[in-house]
A and B are shown apart, each in its own frame.
Chain A
């Protein structure tokens, strides 16, 4: 599903965010990427979603060589990836329904399909009864679940989450992580960047540990 070989990323100004990274994530895996802030977790996710381009090395995502995707094809690449953000990135002036519908509208889904699929996604995250509300009246955990519903509504094979539980308490964090686990059980490849060690211990999945732009540990899942 994802293959990085000898990937480096140097930002303008000479800061090395990633140094010669090589790893491979198979389809259907669930992987935690962990490390202190500044270790390169976010950069890793940005390279996968083509928000950034690598300075060196080769990335393959969804069997596509990212080097060969021109700028104008980037939107189509992103449609195959669901992204969950720490700060949700919801549109506060649109209803929950409209927020979740956005990826479908963007890809030109028919009207009937949009209603059906948005409701299915909202049901999955337990917010079907709040679809008419504006996100602003929801709690932090609920907003994050709207973000997740939006990320999975067009059934992408790959789901990325950047610190999805960063602002949530333990119980809510467990809820969110269990959602990711559930998607993974249904065959979605899930990558979660987090420094929530409690979740790593609880879920016992594979862990990629980054430190100053290098992979210092690749722990296999504990059965």
Chain B
């Protein structure tokens, strides 16, 4: 058993040595794999960051409450008081119909048209802000329904539509990245498979001799599998470096932007778990690609 591990260890070092023997070729392969893996991983990281950024937006949601036309000011004040006492609500802002009209006149180009109207068409509006702790969409919906239940309220509307659309769009992008990642993973597989194929053909004579003196297929296969695994893993490590160098380059401008928005947001790197799975994924792809080439080509090489 000890011998078994020792032999694997030797093969590992032998494969490392083989890679070091032709550094340019090895680096080129590793470079291609690195860039191929960096693309989907980088995009994934980007989406991840955008998602974290937009989590805050949910809590900035407002509920617009339109008051029925015939409601008196006293009744509206009573409603405001009632809403303010609701533990799920953090603030209520009252905008009277006159205020709304003045604002609308100022912001739109319809000033003259509005002046010609004999009465104010706008209702009184309450802007209700839910507590920050309420982020679940279902809870928000319940709150809105509760507000709409008051007799003074015409319509209560959650201004969440655009956030939800944004999240839906993110989901599509995420799915797209998954597809891209699968395709590029396949590309890594084929790259390694081709590299190993060339390595096998280069060492054709050696393989033939090894078979002649009693080397088993698994003995002959082993260094190629290790080589593929190593190249895939090194490629993944390179991808990780590429991503984090890019993040360093981006950190300055992003910091400036978030500062302007008075936000605490900071770009986050891959984290230990994701980094490890990236490297592991590279290794697995390398091993599989090598396996693909070895299975096909070692059988063809038989002593004559």
Contacts and interface: CB of A to CB of B under 8 A. Distances in A.
B214 A76 contact: yes
A49 B205 CA distance: 18
A75 B214 contact: yes
B213 interface: yes
A110 B4 CA distance: 10
Contacts of A108: 3, 7
A20 interface: no
Contact of A51 (B215, B219, B304): B304
Contacts of B206: 91
Given A91-B206, A102-B210, A75 B215 contact: yes
B211 interface: yes
A18 interface: no
Interface string A195-207: 0000000000000
Given A51-B304, A108-B3, A78 B217 contact: no
A6 interface: no
A103 B214 contact: yes
B3 A83 contact: no
A106 interface: yes
Interface string A64-100: 0000000010011111000100000101000000000
Given A51-B303, A51-B304, A91-B206, A110 B3 contact: yes
Given A51-B304, A91-B206, A103 B3 contact: no
B209 interface: yes
A181 B257 CA distance: 88
Interface residues on A, range: 10 to 19
Contacts of A72: 216-217
A102 B304 contact: no
Interface in A158-179: none
Contacts of B205: 89, 91
A41 interface: no
Find the residue from B209, B213, B215 having the highest chain A CB count within 10 A. B213
Contact of B213 (A51, A106, A110, A111): A106
Given A51-B304, A91-B209, A75 B3 contact: no
A75 B216 contact: yes
A55 interface: no
Nearest to A94: B206
Nearest to A80: B214
Contacts of B7: 108
A72 B298 CA distance: 13
Contacts of B209: 89, 91, 102
A69 B232 CA distance: 38
A150 interface: yes
Interface of B: 3, 6-7, 205-206, 208-217, 219, 302-304
Given A75-B219, A83-B212, 7 more contacts: A89-B205, A89-B209, A102-B209, A103-B214, A106-B215, A108-B3, A150-B213
19 contacts: A49-B212, A51-B212, A51-B304, A75-B211, A75-B214, A76-B216, A78-B212, A79-B213, A83-B212, A89-B205, A91-B209, A102-B210, A102-B213, A103-B213, A106-B213, A106-B214, A106-B215, A106-B216, A111-B6
Interface of A: 49, 51, 72, 75-79, 83, 89, 91, 102-103, 106-108, 110-111, 150
